[in-house]
Amino acid sequence: EMFLNVLSVFSVHPSGDFDTVQSPSTPIKELDDRACRSGGSKSRGRGRKNNPSPPPDSDLERVFVWDLDETIIVFHSLLTGSYAQKYGKDPPMAVTLGLRMEEMIFNLADTHLFFNDLEECDQVHIDDVSSDDNGQDLSTYSFATDGFHAAATSANLCLATGVRGGVDWMRKLAFRYRRVKELYSTYKNNVGGLLGPAKRDAWLQLRAEVEALTDSWLTHALKSLSIISSRSNCVNVLVTTTQLIPALAKVLLYSLGSVFPIENIYSATKIGKESCFERIMQRFGRKVVYVVIGDGVEEEQAAKKHNMPFWRISSHSDLLALHQALEFEYL
């Protein structure tokens, strides 16, 4: 029965589009033979002279493109009270938990990830300004006194006008993104070490309360994410409408750092999800199969436009069905 459920999900969830990739009864192995026998070299990012993100593996077969809010984590719907309403939970408690989490996210972003400096200088991807980095040693560098923030605010250098600062200022911007990347790599499995003892305890407590209120939503999502990241031929990519720096703070605080390498995280704030999907396709090539997992219209339409199967997450049962499909290797 479980097995049949998994099969029926294929036809129901991707609004019929799954057939373009495989019919529900076709084992994924057959799909592998069709789509993944690629001896040729993959497209290697954007050919930047100083792009430290590794090129995709040549044995890569499937790229799972995830949305973050209301797909992997319950966050926005806590703040609005809609989660409490939908699942019969206590609305004031849900909102309070959401607010506490929001405070923790922005606190981490401001304190450790330069969000005060970078909020107006948002990037789509961690390496987008890496070509302006001269690679100098930052171990004794003083971010607090390098004059970056004053220059940024006085000239509104990063606003939508597209005006950029001088070479010196761009280098300081690149230094910040490099340090963020280092911090992420260091603490991706141990955000408590970054927060320090007192905040770590508050974080663990809050995480436990959110998991209890949301009936272990995150735990269910992590099961699927972990299966994918344990496979040598699959990869998890995150595309979120959250700005990049707060998105990284969310990923760290929700313990998602082990399933999303920082170079697989894209912020759609400035360019929209469809453009992010195009960048991802450029990076990983056309020979891999893309599967989009999300709750919103934007990612569904972007998936449809690129003929990518879409797996809708609108309840716990969708997460459980996804986990089953991955466990039985139908996905």
| Domain ranges within the chain, ordered by starting residue | 62-127+193-328
pLDDT at 151: 67
Q: What's the token pair of residue 206?
A: 């809050």
CA distance 310 to 19: 11
The predicted model gives 162-169 an average pLDDT of 70
3-state SS track over 35-87? HCCCCCCCCCCCCCCCCCCCCCCCCCCEEEEECCECCCECCHHHHHCHHHHHH
Q: Which residue has the higher pLDDT, 37 or 191?
A: 191
- pLDDT band at 83, cuts 50/70/90? very high
Residue 113 is given by DSSP the state: S
Q: Which residue has the higher pLDDT, 30 or 76?
A: 76
Tell me the pLDDT of the chain averaged across its residues. Answer: 85
**Phi, psi dihedral angles at 277 (to 5 degrees):** -60, -40
Q: Could you read off the pLDDT of 19-34 as tens digits, one per residue?
A: 333 333 333 433 443 3
Do 223 and 323 form a contact (C-beta atoms < 8 A)?
yes
> Any known ligand binding at 295?
yes
Please return the burial class of 278, using the count of CB atoms within 10 Å of its CB with bins 0-12, 13-18 and 19+: middle
pLDDT at 57: 58
Q: Could you read off the pLDDT of 42-73 as tens digits, one per residue?
A: 333 433 445 456 555 578 999 999 999 999 99
Rounded to whole angstroms, what are the CA distances from 239 to 71, 267, 327? 11, 6, 24
CA distance 273 to 282: 14
> Any known ligand binding at 19?
no
- At 206 the three-state DSSP class reads helix
Q: CA 250, 158, 282 angle in degrees (round to 5)?
A: 65
CA distance 121 to 243: 10
> Any known ligand binding at 67?
yes
pTM, rounded to two decimals: 0.82
pLDDT at 13: 39
Q: Class of the 62-127+193-328 domain?
A: alpha beta
Catalytic residue positions, numbered: 67, 69
The predicted model gives 70-87 an average pLDDT of 97
Q: Which residue has the higher pLDDT, 47 or 267?
A: 267
- pLDDT band at 166, cuts 50/70/90? confident
pLDDT at 149: 76
